[in-house]
Chains A and B, each alone.
Chain A
Amino acid sequence: MTAVIPGVEQSRLLRVATAGSVDDGKSTLIGRLLYDAKAVLADQLTAVQDASRRRGYPDADLALLVDGLRAEREQGITIDVAYRYFATAHRSFVLADTPGHVQYTRNMVTGASTADVAVVLVDARAGLIEQSRRHATIAALLGVGHLVLAVNKMDLVGWSEDVFDTILADFAALADRRGVRSWSAVPISALLGDNVVDRSANTGWYAGPPLLELLETLPVPGTDDPALGWRFPVQLVVRPRTAAYPDYRGYSGRVAAGTVRVGDAVTVLPAGASTTVVGIDTYDGPLDEAAAGRSVVLRLADDLDISRGDLLTGAGRPPAVTREITATVCWLATEPLAAGSRWRLRQATRDVRAVVTEVTSVLDVTTGESRPAGTLALNDIGTVTLRTAEPLVVDPYAASRRTGGLLLVDELTGASAGAGMVTEQRCPPGTD
């Protein structure tokens, strides 16, 4: 849920991620967007023009604006996410340009995990190929609030409405299967600029806005379930013991969902103790309430045993306290994920040991069907059951991103091996 501060105009950042296969033109699109929106500064443009000339290109290659690594420019591909920032008169944007190559799916997942909107780019000549489907599926699973299908290279198919409609129908079926309710489609040419910032004269059959106008006017989509009540994972116990604050005791954290108010009843999980919020403190002074996203310090009526990793929650539907969860996992490590393997599991501010009890199924991204599987290979998406050494306090990811998302970390190397989205939490009798 997007926090609304009463009486204050909302000018929040819109986080946009690009997705799509290699060579579909994602970096070119972002370059074009920045260039036509006049967000490219003179020295950056000169550098790109010089580099394009050295490479023997006839025109400035706008993809060079975002491909920041030497290896990317050498190969003309994007390896890792590049973040670009720009503002129009209507809105500020963070653009995450993510790689299309299947080998770098982990970086696409990184860029999409925080996105409000994903622009799925498709080459009009190729249609929705496996990699476009994979990215659209990942964006949907990550709960990105709105998808934009951008059918690119329309100039190479003679601006054909039929080609556009065919791809649109394919995408509609995929969106429907993945439960994506909010999406739109735009025919564009990133190279020539049609329907990127300026409306194209070549697509008379298209009544919608150009891409930038669409992004400027979209409502910032909310993803969390308002019935949930608030969630507050404790980051630190604050005990200054200074002359000014000799007896101060508070709990710092970032509101993960909902809105916490002074006077609210509190349940401390997993322990289950109850108390009341007596203060919401910040460096700038006390607040009456703090909505999702705010970093604050909570003071409670009673001195309880509370430490990092605990979760404070108020009224509303409670989270599950459980040692057994089922999650949709994007596997991002070279070694396959198999039953019996052990990991550190990071969720909210908790860090516990976990064992994979079962790898149930893997998703075929082309057909959208799940099939039984015993392992997940690199870049696979599948359903996995995990048991943890200590209880987790979790929500379904679909209801709350910040308390329903988890990382599996390799204990030995520290690598982030998998990203999980909780689908179910079971509380078997006799445990916790």
Chain B
Amino acid sequence: MTTLLGVERTSLTDLEDESVHILREVVATFERPVLLFSGGKDSIVLLRLAEKALWPARVPFPVMHIDTGHNFPEVIEFRDRRVAELDVQLVVASVQASIDTGRVRERAGQSRNPLQTVTLLDGIATHRFDAVLGGARRDEERARAKERVFSVRDEFGQWNPRNQRPELWDLYNGRHAPGEHVRVFPLSNWTELDIWRYIRAERIEVPSIYYAHGRDVFERDGMLLAVTEWTQPRAGEVVRRETVRYRTVGDATCTGAVRSGAATVDEVVTETAVSTITERGATRADDRASEAAMEDRKREGYF
């Protein structure tokens, strides 16, 4: 019997069935798929769905983490434990290495988030991955709302939103030329609330920072940043001990916490259901840069 019970069974089962079908299509039609795994909630759900899609066989492809070097220790610990449990290969593509080899230049006082694109594309090229599975959802951001489930990237890794392939029914077309690759988004039709309802229904473990905890934080640009070795308060920024949690987990220098007392999965589901602000609007400095911040990064090859 499934672990999904009652009313939640139907709409979550629909989403699960769709994602499982997409994941199996990837395994059937690509030579070298990889799943982007950051230890964030969406990639955790995606990895669980991959496990389900291929059961009772093992997940046959590696997972890749684009590591900015600015990590929450709880997340890295979680990542390593989950990879060991599933006995999958972990590829770490390091932004620090890209900086050290001169592929990208770090700008003082700015997040490493935009630098990830180069590291990601280099990682894809080095390992000759032809399908890159990501946990992006269309409800996250309006440029993402335009993305196909199978999204072809040219040999420069670029997305051309004005010329996307038609995508009909559940016939996904992954044909591509050598040097090109296909981004695949099995969670396209999930919302943030669906992700949390699924985490609850499936009793999926996520890193502890998704739940309310005490943390030293300070306010910058309207966001609550944690005090870490890379993010220190500037003059005039006051550090306070607050009860917070994270709604998204990314680079520690540009991911903000939210004030929240939601300490259990039930409380997080309730909080998400009544939230009046989007997860990226609440917590991601990188999306606030301009009206088309996400589209511009996506065109260049970002997640």
Contact = CB atoms under 8 A, between A and B. Distances in A.
A431 interface: no
Nearest to B290: A70
B1 interface: yes
Nearest to A285: B1
Contact of B173 (A9, A405, A414): A414
Contact of B9 (A5, A44, A401): A5
A109 B145 contact: no
B164 A41 contact: no
B14 A69 contact: no
Interface string B129-157: 00000000011011111101000100000
A297 B17 CA distance: 12
A405 B169 contact: yes
A44 B296 CA distance: 18
Nearest to B15: A13
B277 A238 contact: no
B189 A283 contact: no
Contacts of B10: 5, 8-12
Nearest to A12: B10
Contacts of A253: 24
Contact of B189 (A85, A242, A346, A409): A85
Nearest to B9: A8
A413 B177 CA distance: 7
Contacts of A254: 17, 20-21, 170
A259 interface: no
B276 interface: yes
A236 B27 contact: yes
B138 to A, nearest CB: 5
Given A65-B142, A68-B146, A414-B175, A284 B17 contact: no
A153 interface: no
A11 B11 contact: yes
Contact of A295 (B11, B28, B53, B281): B53
A79 B162 contact: yes
Given A5-B9, A414-B152, A235 B164 contact: no
B278 A80 contact: no
Interface string A313-349: 0000000000000000000100000000000101101
Interface in B69-89: none
Main secondary structure of the interface of A (DSSP, over half): mixed
Contacts of A240: 56-58
Interface string B260-297: 00000000000000011110011000000001100110
Contacts of B127: none
B105 interface: no
A282 B168 contact: no
A263 interface: no
B14 A110 contact: no
A411 to B, nearest CB: 8
Nearest to A78: B146
A83 B142 contact: no
Interface residues of A, number: 75
B213 interface: no
A235 B25 contact: yes
B176 interface: yes
B52 interface: yes
Interface in B150-197: 152, 161-162, 164-171, 173, 175-177, 188-189, 191
A69 B6 contact: no
A83 B2 CA distance: 29
A235 B142 CA distance: 32
Contacts of B216: none
A236 B23 CA distance: 11
Interface stretch (A18-26, A196-204, A244-252): A244-252
Nearest to B165: A416
B52 A82 contact: no
B101 interface: no
Interface string A393-432: 0000000011001110100011110010000000000000
A43 B278 contact: yes
B108 interface: no
Contacts of A81: 146
B281 A284 contact: no
A189 interface: no
A413 to B, nearest CB: 8
B169 A402 contact: yes
The 7 closest A-B pairs by CB, nearest first: A68-B142, A43-B281, A414-B175, A240-B57, A113-B168, A295-B20, A283-B52
21 contacts: A65-B142, A68-B144, A69-B162, A82-B146, A83-B189, A85-B191, A106-B166, A107-B164, A110-B167, A114-B169, A235-B25, A236-B24, A236-B28, A242-B58, A294-B13, A295-B16, A295-B17, A407-B168, A409-B175, A414-B152, A414-B176
Interface of A: 5, 8-13, 41-44, 47, 51, 65-71, 73, 79-85, 92, 94, 106-107, 109-110, 113-114, 235-236, 238-240, 242, 244-245, 248, 250, 252-254, 281-285, 293-295, 297, 308, 332, 344, 346-347, 349, 401-402, 405-407, 409, 413-416, 419
